[in-house]
Amino acid sequence: MKPIRCAIVEDEAIARQILSRYLAELPDFVLDAVFENALVAQTYLQEHAVDLLFLDIEMPGLNGLSLLRSLPQPPKVIITTAYREYALEGYDLNAVDYLLKPISFERFQLALHKLFELQAFAPAQLPSATETPAFLYFKSGHKWVQVFLEEILYIEGLSNYVKIVGSKGTTVVYQKMSYLEEKLPAGLFLRIHKSYIVGLNKIAALYATDLEIGGKLLPVGEKYRPLLKALIGKKTIYKQTNTNKKHEDLPHFSRHRHRIRRPVFSFEQPQLGQLHQP
């Protein structure tokens, strides 16, 4: 990912130090300039492009809102202020977020999370086979981690956290399942249980009430089974393990569970870009 270049315009020394320290902890952000005077910042910003501006509102001389309005091509802005009444004006100027002083690191991270949700900093669509794999950023502890969608096997919900299990490791991030269910591409991911979302092209076998993925059995909730069957039938290449049985147009869930269970069907593992209609 290309580094996100930042500038800080803030007349309070403590606030400048805090914001600078927070940014130093995030490897994907580069702090290009820090200003305590809006007029000096105005000259710099008219000649140098930055991606993200942390902007105080109430400053002597030129205030933050006037500075922002004076820029012909303003960058993304996160407003920092001690006054709640400036929030509405900030949103009118398409600010990403506003941070009320004193600014905690947790609140700072949430503002950056909003930034990543914007189209300019998040993948808009899945890649083709020749493009760089799509990815998302998630907050994990005091850092943001990059997760490639094609590497995700399944996601397990843990209250306000989720465990993302991938082909190259496991990451625990601060996020809710409902958010991920909305953000992940529906054609490649599906919620199969209140606690699980799976990569459809990573499913190895499907049983009556669960499925196998990454060498682990995951439960399939009853209300999720019809949609799972439909998507499996349309989106994957499958073969029956018992060649003596008549081939069916759509896969089905087995009606019985045995001590040594045989899957209803197993899957070839198509790569991204190879999914097709039968």
DSSP letters, 167-201, are TTEEEEEE--HHHHHHHS-TTTEEEEETTEEEEGG
Burial (CB count <10 Å: 0-12, 13-18, 19+), residue 214: middle
Confidence at residue 189, expressed as pLDDT on a 0 to 100 scale = 87
Confidence at residue 185, expressed as pLDDT on a 0 to 100 scale = 76
pLDDT band of 86, cuts 50, 70, 90: low
Could you tell me the CA-to-CA distances from 84 to 91, 135, 149, 233 in Å, in that order?
12, 35, 38, 53
Q: What is the mean pLDDT of the chain?
A: 77
Q: What is the pLDDT of residues 225-264, one digit of tens each?
A: 888 877 776 554 444 444 444 434 434 444 444 333 545 4
Confidence at residue 106, expressed as pLDDT on a 0 to 100 scale = 84
pLDDT tops 90 at residue 217: yes
Confidence at residue 274, expressed as pLDDT on a 0 to 100 scale = 40
Confidence at residue 81, expressed as pLDDT on a 0 to 100 scale = 85
User: Rounded to an integer, what distance in angstroms lies between the CA atom of residue 193 and that of residue 145?
Assistant: 25
pLDDT, greater one: 65 or 14: 14
Confidence at residue 155, expressed as pLDDT on a 0 to 100 scale = 96
**H helix intervals, 35-176:** 38-47, 64-70, 86-92, 105-117
Structure tokens at 87: 């929030």
pLDDT average, residue stretch 208-230? 89
Q: How far is CA 169 from the centre of its chain?
A: 17
Confidence at residue 259, expressed as pLDDT on a 0 to 100 scale = 37
Q: What is the pLDDT of residues 9-54, one digit of tens each?
A: 999 999 999 999 999 988 889 999 999 999 999 999 999 999 999 9
Q: What is the pLDDT of residues 139-165, one digit of tens each?
A: 777 777 788 888 999 999 987 789 999
pLDDT band of 88, cuts 50, 70, 90: low
pLDDT tops 60 at residue 196: yes
pLDDT tops 60 at residue 129: no
pLDDT tops 50 at residue 175: yes
Q: Which domains does the chain have, with CATH numbers?
A: 4-121 (3.40.50.2300), 135-267 (2.40.50.1020)
pTM greater than 0.85:
no
Confidence at residue 92, expressed as pLDDT on a 0 to 100 scale = 56
